């Protein structure tokens, strides 16, 4: 097995993408926030607001900020000038389903940005609702799709 993020001395290093061709790259990730039934009902009854304010709107802003700062959080991620980051949150039954889609024209992909955006949005939903219950579960964080690099994954929207 060859490790891509180790140098000749077996020390951690960032991958050199200097020789790669810049292409349009997209990725979409998802996270789920499972609420107790009473919390989901309270959100529906209060226009998706908790005592802290507009839950999903706040989470969307936080998720976009997280996606843009992924390189500051994940050690070997390259800083990218993200061209688009769209977060959609739907209340499906007793769960918030968060989808984060990111695109960039660059030499490296945006999977980690999409995953980070979805994750930070999920954490924000938890924070906005924890006054209603601590029995909230974040899970199901996964990559749904990616394209534009040497390999594609999933169904690109």
Residue-range domains of the chain with CATH: 23-146 (3.30.70.640)
Q: Which of 31, 21, 33 is nearest to 127 (CA)?
A: 33
pLDDT band at 119 (very low <50, low <70, confident <90, very high): very high
User: Cα dist. 25→108, 149, 153 in Å?
Assistant: 8, 6, 12
3-state secondary structure (DSSP) of residue 148: coil
Active-site residue, selected from the candidate residues 7, 45, 127, 147: 127
Q: What is the mean pLDDT of residues 76-82?
A: 93
pLDDT band at 155 (very low <50, low <70, confident <90, very high): low
Query: What pLDDT is stored for residue 1 in this prediction?
Result: 74
> pLDDT for 19-71, tens place per residue?
788 999 999 999 999 999 999 999 999 999 999 999 999 999 999 999 999 99
Two tokens at 136? 């909230």
User: Cα dist. 155→29, 68, 148 in Å?
Assistant: 12, 23, 12
Q: 127 catalytic, yes or no?
A: yes
């Amino acid at each position: 097995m060859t490790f891509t993020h180790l140098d000749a001395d077996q020390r951690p290093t960032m991958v050199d993408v200097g020789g790669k061709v810049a292409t349009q790259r997209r990725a979409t990730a998802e996270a789920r926030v499972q609420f107790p039934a009473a919390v989901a009902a309270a959100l529906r009854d209060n226009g998706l607001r908790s005592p802290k304010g507009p839950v999903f709107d706040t989470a969307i802003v936080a998720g976009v900020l997280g996606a843009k700062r992924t390189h500051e959080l994940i050690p070997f991620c390259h800083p990218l000038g993200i061209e688009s980051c769209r977060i959609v949150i739907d209340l499906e039954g007793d769960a918030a389903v968060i989808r984060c889609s990111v695109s960039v024209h660059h030499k490296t992909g945006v999977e980690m940005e999409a995953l980070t955006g979805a994750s930070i949005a999920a954490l924000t939903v938890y924070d906005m609702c924890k006054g209603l219950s601590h029995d909230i579960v974040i899970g199901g964080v996964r990559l749904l799709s990616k394209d534009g690099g040497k390999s594609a994954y999933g169904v690109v929207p």
